[in-house]
């Protein structure tokens, strides 16, 4: 299997304000190129694109290609488990949405300390093992967003998990909250293969400051900032697949052009990324990856990632007047940062463990000046 996986969570849209409006014509074209270049791994989930991602996978992949020509992965949303029977209902719905009889890989979605407690309460590991025995799951594991000691506990208590999906990128490599390096080392110590998510940190590492990109281009003129991030993740020992949430054909063509041959970075490249990390860490932007988990739980329907993106653009020196117009547009059909009621439901599902309510207050203040 080629290392690049197609993450179906940032798909092209026909309406930028509606995450469920997947542009199927563009997606079909992207899938065709992806498969024609020898890449076969697709990753979806129950709640991506407002619940549309899995059915988009059925239409663009399952209905158009032989089942044995691709790998399809989905995930059980542990944060949606509230009563007995929920996981059985959701799993049956996922098979139907995707139009398949089995998933090649199936994950317990976004385990952290809290969601692991939920998974244990409902016997989720045993449930997925049962699915595997029955043939509706070929391999199973879990995606993870917490510290290395929590990962170690889960793997000690559930050695039956066959792989782990981790957030690995050079910016989070030594981060005290994400602990990319420590989590990777923990998974390897337990003998688990690793699938990488967020290698470009939701696009953050595709748009680095000019001084950071200058360092990269001086080392490798033809390497884009995004390709540096993907190469870093793909070169780590124990990594089997690196997911990229691709929104355009341009992104897909670039990623597939080099990921078939991506290997470990050398000392010179690692030194460049160390310098770039120092530049990025010196900023005060919001480390949001635009996964949009928060918007699903927001009672005020605040487009939280969009506002964080506008704040980051403002902080990076963007035109405040132009950004203010976009800020007003965001709030026309939904809540604004000022409408936040501080219920903190968003914080309970944020994989980056951001203090979202406080940050929304910061965004509101920045645009009200």
Half-sphere exposure of 249 (CA within 13 A, CB side): 11
User: pLDDT per position in the chain (369 positions), as tens?
Assistant: 689 999 999 999 999 888 999 999 999 999 999 999 999 999 999 999 999 999 999 999 999 999 999 999 999 999 999 999 999 999 999 999 999 999 999 999 999 999 999 999 999 999 999 999 999 999 999 999 999 999 999 999 999 999 999 999 999 999 988 999 999 999 999 999 999 999 999 888 999 989 999 999 999 999 999 999 999 999 999 999 999 999 999 999 999 999 987 788 999 999 999 999 988 887 667 878 778 889 888 998 898 988 887 887 777 667 788 888 888 888 887 889 989 999 999 988 888 788 999 999 989 888 887
- The pTM assigned to this predicted structure is 0.86
3-class secondary structure per residue, 158-203: CCCCCEEEEECCCCCCCCCCCCHHHHHHHHHHCCCEEEEECCCHHH
Which DSSP state fits 22? B
Cβ atoms within 10 A of the Cβ of 220, count? 14
User: What is the token pair recorded at 229?
Assistant: 């991030």
Q: What is the residue extent of each domain of the chain?
A: 4-281, 293-368
User: Which helix (DSSP H) or strand (DSSP E) does residue 317 occupy?
Assistant: none
Residue of 145, 151, 184 whose CA lies nearest to 293: 145
Return the CA Rg of the chain: 20
CATH class in words for 4-281? alpha beta
User: Which helix (DSSP H) or strand (DSSP E) does residue 117 occupy?
Assistant: helix 113-121
* Whole-angstrom distance, CA of residue 339 vs CA of residue 134: 48
* C-alpha torsion 347→349→351→354, nearest 10: -10
């Amino acid at each position: 299997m080629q290392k690049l996986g197609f993450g179906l969570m940032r798909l092209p849209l026909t309406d930028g304000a509606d995450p469920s409006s997947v542009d199927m014509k563009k997606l079909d074209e992207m899938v065709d190129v992806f498969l024609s270049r020898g890449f076969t791994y697709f990753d979806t989930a129950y709640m991506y694109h407002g619940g549309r991602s899995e059915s988009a996978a059925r239409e663009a992949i399952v209905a158009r290609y032989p089942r044995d020509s691709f790998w399809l992965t989905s995930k059980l949303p542990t944060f949606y488990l509230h009563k007995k029977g929920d996981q059985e209902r959701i799993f049956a719905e996922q098979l139907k949405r995707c139009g398949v009889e089995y998933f090649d890989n199936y994950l317990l979605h976004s385990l952290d300390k809290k969601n692991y407690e939920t998974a244990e309460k409902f016997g989720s590991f045993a449930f997925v093992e049962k699915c595997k025995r029955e043939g509706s799951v070929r391999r199973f594991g879990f995606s993870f967003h917490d510290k290395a000691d929590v990962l170690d506990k889960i793997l000690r208590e559930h050695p039956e998990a066959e792989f782990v999906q981790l957030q690995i990128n050079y910016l989070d490599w030594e981060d005290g909250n994400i602990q990319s390096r420590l989590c990777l080392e923990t998974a390897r110590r337990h003998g688990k293969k690793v699938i990488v998510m967020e290698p470009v940190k939701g696009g953050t590492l595709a748009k680095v400051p000019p001084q950071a990109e200058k360092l990269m281009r001086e080392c490798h003129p033809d390497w884009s900032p995004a390709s540096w991030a993907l190469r870093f993740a793909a070169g780590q020992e124990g990594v089997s697949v690196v997911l990229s949430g691709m929104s355009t054909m341009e992104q897909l063509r670039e990623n597939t052009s080099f990921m078939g041959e991506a290997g470990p970075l050398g000392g010179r490249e690692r030194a460049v990324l160390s310098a770039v990390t120092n530049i990025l860490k010196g900023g005060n932007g919001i480390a949001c990856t635009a996964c949009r988990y928060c918007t699903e739980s927001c009672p005020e329907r605040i487009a939280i990632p969009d506002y964080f993106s506008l704040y980051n653009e403002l902080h990076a020196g963007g035109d405040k007047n132009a950004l203010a117009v976009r800020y007003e547009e965001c709030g026309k059909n939904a809540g604004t940062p000022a409408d936040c009621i501080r219920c903190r439901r968003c914080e309970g599902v944020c994989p980056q463990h951001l203090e979202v309510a406080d940050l929304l207050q910061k965004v509101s203040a920045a645009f009200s000046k």
